Chains A and B, each alone.
Chain A
């Protein structure tokens, strides 16, 4: 394995006010090279007006095999959804 090169995740903002969207990854030895490589690779045709690069190693994720247990608390609290509540007939705008 070659030393020093890092993988960076690339996020592009299409227009001011829109969210940054993940588009893929690129390589770079340092921040500046990473963002220049990301520009050359992902915005050659005006695809964005702003770019983020984040070291792939810095991203924290839930391991696939733990996802069910991890998200379980969100599943059983049906009272968090508006459909859980009964509204009397004839009452509107709720």
Chain B
């Protein structure tokens, strides 16, 4: 949401702005669905916000990358929402009911996000040479971070065994990551853009693409709070939360007045 928020007032057309606004509203909703799911387990939202602020709670590493050009809105929708969908479709079959129902709802809304992103990529990739260059640059910067969204290698995944045993997670990180790569490479080919991995090639025996090893140092660096925008994202969240404290206070005072009024 914060990466897209950067482009809301810079969207190139009213249509683009409307679409981006609708996407951001959906993502705020997705956050709320998941907070509600966690609340069913007995924690309050205020406690979770506090954990986020004092960095006890982690959030997806992808939000710590900057969005430098309008093409990044395309790459984010196409790759970031695309990777999220692969994960979320699998999680629709998670064993915890409220989580599963939340994921079903999320999946219904996500595919519009990915399509609007790809539409921007098409406009840029088939536009002027400068636009195409911006599209390629966005792909270069978001490819590996999108792959990292699936989490560490199965061998290094701390929560993997318990989550799989309890059927919270249904498919492994590496499995889902490979599915995303296999779906996305032909979409890049259509755009005439090059995936930034010289070792990417189709293995005809499996129908899957092989790729270079990932830069896991970069991944752990971002997860542990040292990505390009970690501090900025967190500061922004805290500022919005504290600047709007008066709204919560006013709402509480109003609610109390309404409840105790005799009229």
A binding-site residues for B, Cβ under 8 Å? 1-5, 7, 23-27, 29-30, 33, 40-41, 44-45
| A5 neighbours in B (Cβ, 8 Å) | 46, 248, 251-252
**Contact among A1, A2, A4, A26 for B32, CB-based, below 8 A:** A26
16 inter-chain pairs at a CB distance below 8 angstroms, sorted by A residue, are A1-B46, A1-B47, A2-B248, A4-B252, A5-B248, A7-B39, A24-B101, A29-B251, A29-B252, A29-B255, A30-B259, A33-B251, A40-B29, A41-B33, A44-B26, A44-B29
Chain B 1-45, CB-CB to A under 8 Å as 1, else 0, gives 000000000000000000000000110010011001001100011
Chain B positions 87 through 127: 1 when the CB is less than 8 Å from some CB of chain A, otherwise 0? 00000000000100110010011000000000000000000
Identify A44's interface contact among B25, B44, B102, B255, CB under 8 A. Answer: B25
B interface vs A, CB < 8 Å?
25-26, 29, 32-33, 36, 39-40, 44-47, 98, 101-102, 105, 108-109, 248, 251-256, 258-259
> Among B39, B40, B255, which residue has its beta carbon within 8 angstroms of that of A4?
B255
- CB-based contact A30/B251 at 8 Å: yes
How many pairs of residues, A versus B, come closer than 8 Å at their CB atoms?
53
A4 lies within 8 A of B36 (CB):
no
Cβ–Cβ < 8 Å partners of A40 in chain B: 25, 29
Q: In the complex, what residues of A have CB within 8 A of residue B256's CB?
A: 4
**In the docked arrangement, what's the CA distance between A7 and B39, Å?**
9
Give every chain B residue within 8 A of A27 (Cβ-Cβ): 45
Contact between B102 and A24, CB atoms less than 8 A apart? yes
Q: Which A-B residue pairs are the 3 nearest by beta carbons?
A: A4-B252, A29-B251, A30-B255
Q: Chain A: which residue is nearest B22 at the CB level? A: A44
For residue B102, which residues in chain A have a CB less than 8 angstroms away from its CB?
24
A residues less than 8 Å from B108 (CB atoms) = 45
Whether A24 pairs with B36 at a CB distance below 8 angstroms is yes
* A83 to B45 alpha-carbon distance, docked (Å): 49
* Closest Cβ neighbor of B36 among chain A residues: A25
B146 → A minimal CB distance (Å): 26
- Please give me the residue from chain A that is nearest to B252 by CB atom: A4
Instruction: Please tell me if the beta carbons of B46 and A29 are within 8 angstroms of each other in the complex.
Output: no
Is A29 a contact of B39 with CB atoms below 8 Å? no
| Residues on B with beta carbons closer than 8 Å to the beta carbon of A41 | 29, 32-33
Chain B residues lying within 8 Å of A4, measured Cβ to Cβ, are: 248, 251-253, 255-256
Give the CA-CA distance A23 to B102 in the complex, in Å.
Answer: 9
CA distance A40 to B203 in the complex (A): 46
